[in-house]
Amino acid sequence: MSSEKRGITVKAQTCSMLYNHHGDDYLLHLVDSPGHVDFRAEVARSYVSCGGALLLVDASQGIQAQTVANFYLAFAQGLKLLPVINKVDLPHADPPRVLEQLKDTFELDPTTAVQVSAKTGLNVESLLPSIVDSVPAPVGDSNKPLRLYLVDSWYSSYKGVILLVRIFDGQIKAGDQIVSFATGMKYTVGEVGIMYPDQTPQRVLRAGQVGYVYFNPSMRKSQEAKIGDTYTKVGQQNQVEPLPGFEEPKPMVFVAAFPVDQSQFEHFEDSINQLLLNDRSVTIQKEASQALGAGFRLGFLGTLHCSVFEDRLRQEHGASLIITPPTVPFQILYRDGREVTITNPADFPDDDVARKNIAELREPLRPRHLHLPRRIPRQSHRALRSKPRRAEVSRVLHLDTGDPQIRTPTRPTRR
């Protein structure tokens, strides 16, 4: 199934709307961000464009791992959090239990939580007023030099790379000359506008607004648009402090992909490149295999990211392909002190050489926080500590006393 059919949000979607509340018009900037941990970077960069976030909790499931992860991410960025309990229409919905969890886990005031059903529409109308009342309006000065933050980008064959930006200070309009702090490259603005919900041109974008910008002549390479970059007007570089950057996510899961029919290689390459234009987190390298022919080694943020990409390749581009099982990067530490990172099993030194020269083999470890109900810990700890042990348990605390800390391998653990 494709990501759309499976209903998984992969890429954050953005739009602006006008909303009248108690006689005043408000321009709201809304983002639907993914929830799954593979797309955490998508969530983090969306938060930079916002002043608040709805913390959606399923009334039948209660707080889940991704709720905790996204809560801390939003909290760390100083966003105003509005707890929303969804799916209250379900027969096994238990809103009182969820309210208690919100209080115990996040110290969020249960009386501020909105209980809704997106299915029946119950209470949904109270969400926008709550947002207007509780999320602070963006601060910024339209008269200061331009300070523009690059939130996201996508590619259009006519307009080149289109940037989604948040204006922290100043203003921007067509004809302005702007410069990137990260690359030093200069561009002339072709058009500015807001997503309303599609691209709607505006004469000017001012401090506090989130909108799109593209250039004329256009930006041709997606790589020039570095997420987290700051832009200002040419000549004002010395008057503006760039905003703290944003670390681009690193691929952690690698597969090789080959077309089943080698005569289709060109079409296969085109299809992959097409998908890469709008997903910059995928890395790509040519690869040749004696058995499977010419193909590519692709790097993904996680296994869900990989499987969504594979589905799109099959469905949207009719590609018939063979994909190898996923692997993570390994670091080989040789006795002579050399350190080599490999992402392709074919690069692994053969057995004889390996046994003699390898001092150590390392795989990525990831710190994790496990939040366990009090009843389960004993079995869970036994499982984590059983041989062959691949997780290091550094600290075990209960929710009311702190977080247990565990480092586990990124590679899926065999059960």
Which positions touch Mg ion (CB under 5 A)? 9
Q: If contact means CB under 5 to 8 A according to the sort of partner, which of ligand GTP, Mg ion, none does residue 90 touch?
A: ligand GTP
Q: Considering only residues 12, 34, 166, 321, which one is a binding residue for ligand GTP as defined by CB under 6 A?
A: 34
Q: Find the binding residues for ligand GTP in span 70-129 (CB under 6 A).
A: 86-87, 89-90, 117-119
Question: Which structure tokens are listed for 24?
Answer: 């005043």
CB-nearer residue toward ligand GTP: 79 or 384: 79
- Give the C-alpha separation, 51 to 166, whole Å: 11
CB-nearer residue toward Mg ion: 9 or 315: 9
* Per-residue binding letters, 182-221, with ligand GTP (x by CB under 6 A): ----------------------------------------
Q: If contact means CB under 5 to 8 A according to the sort of partner, which of Mg ion, ligand GTP, none does residue 322 touch?
A: none
Where does residue 301 rank: exposed (0-12), middle (13-18), buried (19+ CB within 10 A)?
buried
Question: Which structure tokens are listed for 20?
Answer: 């009248």
CB-nearer residue toward ligand GTP: 47 or 254: 47
The answer to whether 161 and 214 are in contact (CB under 8 A) is yes
- Angle among Cα 286, 289, 290 to the nearest 5 degrees reads 150
CB-nearer residue toward Mg ion: 8 or 332: 8
Q: Could you tell me the smallest distance in angstroms from the CB atom of residue 118 to Mg ion?
A: 11
Q: Could you tell me the smallest distance in angstroms from the CB atom of residue 84 to ligand GTP?
A: 10
Q: Does 9 bind ligand GTP (CB under 6 A)?
A: yes
Give the C-alpha distances (Å, rounded to integers) separating 335 from 184, 358, 364. Answer: 42, 6, 20
The answer to whether 137 and 120 are in contact (CB under 8 A) is no
CB-nearer residue toward ligand GTP: 33 or 271: 33
Using DSSP bridges, classify how beta strands 177-180 and 253-259 pair: parallel, antiparallel or unpaired: unpaired
Q: If contact means CB under 5 to 8 A according to the sort of partner, which of ligand GTP, Mg ion, none does residue 297 touch?
A: none
Q: If contact means CB under 5 to 8 A according to the sort of partner, which of ligand GTP, Mg ion, none does residue 89 touch?
A: ligand GTP
CB-nearer residue toward ligand GTP: 38 or 176: 38
Q: Could you tell me the smallest distance in angstroms from the CB atom of residue 410 to ligand GTP?
A: 21
- Helix ranges (DSSP H) in 135-212: none
CB-nearer residue toward Mg ion: 9 or 123: 9
Q: Could you tell me the smallest distance in angstroms from the CB atom of residue 32 to Mg ion?
A: 6
- Give the C-alpha separation, 22 to 44, whole Å: 32
Q: If contact means CB under 5 to 8 A according to the sort of partner, which of ligand GTP, Mg ion, none does residue 117 touch?
A: ligand GTP
Q: Could you tell me the smallest distance in angstroms from the CB atom of residue 86 to ligand GTP?
A: 5
Among residues 280, 204, 245, which one has the least CA distance to residue 48?
245
- Give the C-alpha separation, 30 to 15, whole Å: 5
- Give the C-alpha separation, 115 to 101, whole Å: 14
Q: What is the 3-state secondary structure (H, E, C) of 293-349?
A: EEEEEEEECCHHHHHHHHHHHHHHCCCCEEECCCECCEEEEECCCCEEEECCHHHCC
Site of interaction with ligand GTP (CB under 6 A):
7-9, 34-36, 86-87, 89-90, 117-119
